[in-house]
Amino acid sequence: MTENGDATPLVQLENVNKHFGALHVLKNINLTVSRGEVLVVIGPSGGGKSTLCRAINRLETIDDGKIIFDGQVLPAEGKALARLRSEVGMVFQSFNLFAHKTIRENVTLGPTKVRGVAKDAADKRAMELLERVGIAAQADKYPAQLSGGQQQRVAIARALAMDPKMILFDEPTSALDPEMVQEVLDVMIGLARDGMTMMVVTHEMGFARRAANRVVFMADGQIVEENTPDEFFTNAQTDRARDFLSKILTH
Partner 1 sequence: MDELIKYAPELALGFWENVKLSLVGVVASLILGTILVAMRVSPTPVLRAAGTVYVNVIRNTPLTLVLAFSALGLSDQLGLVFSEMPTTNSFWIVAMGLSAYTSAFVCEALRAGVNTVPLGQAEAARAIGLTFIQSLTMIILPQAFRAVIAPLGSVMIAMIKNTTVATAGGFLLDAAATMKEVFDTTGASIPIFLGLVVAFMALTLPIGFLTGWLARRLAVVR
Ligand X SMILES: Nc1ncnc2c1ncn2[C@@H]1O[C@H](COP(=O)(O)OP(=O)(O)O)[C@@H](O)[C@H]1O
Position among 69, 92, 169, 207 found at the interface with partner 1 (CB under 8 A): 92
Residue 72 forms beta bridges with which residues? 69
- Min CB(172)–Mg ion separation in Å: 11
Residues in 24-53 at the binding interface with Mg ion, rule: CB under 5 A: 50
3-class SS at 104? helix
Run of H or E including 3: none
Report the residue number, 89 or 149, with the smaller CB distance to partner 1: 89
Instruction: Please tell me whether residue 98 binds ligand X under the rule CB under 6 A.
Output: no
Instruction: Please tell me whether residue 57 binds partner 1 under the rule CB under 8 A.
Output: yes
Instruction: Please tell me whether residue 164 binds ligand X under the rule CB under 6 A.
Output: no
Instruction: Please tell me whether residue 47 binds ligand X under the rule CB under 6 A.
Output: yes
Sheet holding 197-201, edge to edge: 88-91, 166-170, 197-201, 38-42, 214-219, 222-227
3-class SS at 195? coil
3-class SS at 21? coil
Instruction: Please tell me whether residue 25 binds ligand X under the rule CB under 6 A.
Output: yes
Interatomic CA distance for residues 224 and 193, integer angstroms: 28
Report the residue number, 106 or 219, with the smaller CB distance to partner 1: 106
Q: Which of 94, 97, 85 is nearest to 55 (CA)?
A: 85
Instruction: Please tell me whether residue 68 binds partner 1 under the rule CB under 8 A.
Output: no
Position among 9, 36, 110, 172 found at the interface with partner 1 (CB under 8 A): 110
Report the residue number, 129 or 201, with the smaller CB distance to Mg ion: 201
Instruction: Please tell me whether residue 89 binds partner 1 under the rule CB under 8 A.
Output: yes
Q: Which stretch binds ligand X (CB under 6 A): 48-56, 81-89, 107-115, 147-155?
A: 48-56
Report the residue number, 46 or 71, with the smaller CB distance to ligand X: 46
- Min CB(73)–partner 1 separation in Å: 18
Interatomic CA distance for residues 112 and 104, integer angstroms: 12
Interatomic CA distance for residues 10 and 37, integer angstroms: 9
Report the residue number, 53 or 133, with the smaller CB distance to Mg ion: 53
Position among 34, 51, 151, 152 found at the interface with ligand X (CB under 6 A): 51
Interatomic CA distance for residues 207 and 204, integer angstroms: 5
The terminus-to-terminus CA distance of the chain in angstroms comes to 33
CB atoms within 10 A of CB 22: 5
Backbone angles phi, psi at 195, to 5 degrees: 90, 10
Position among 11, 67, 159, 188 found at the interface with partner 1 (CB under 8 A): 159
3-class SS at 209? helix
Helix 148-160 and helix 119-132: axis angle, to 10°? 130
| Interaction site with ligand X (CB under 6 A) | 20, 23, 25, 45-51
| Interaction site with partner 1 (CB under 8 A) | 57, 59, 79, 82-90, 92, 94-100, 109-110, 113-114, 142-145, 155, 158-159, 162
| Interaction site with Mg ion (CB under 5 A) | 50
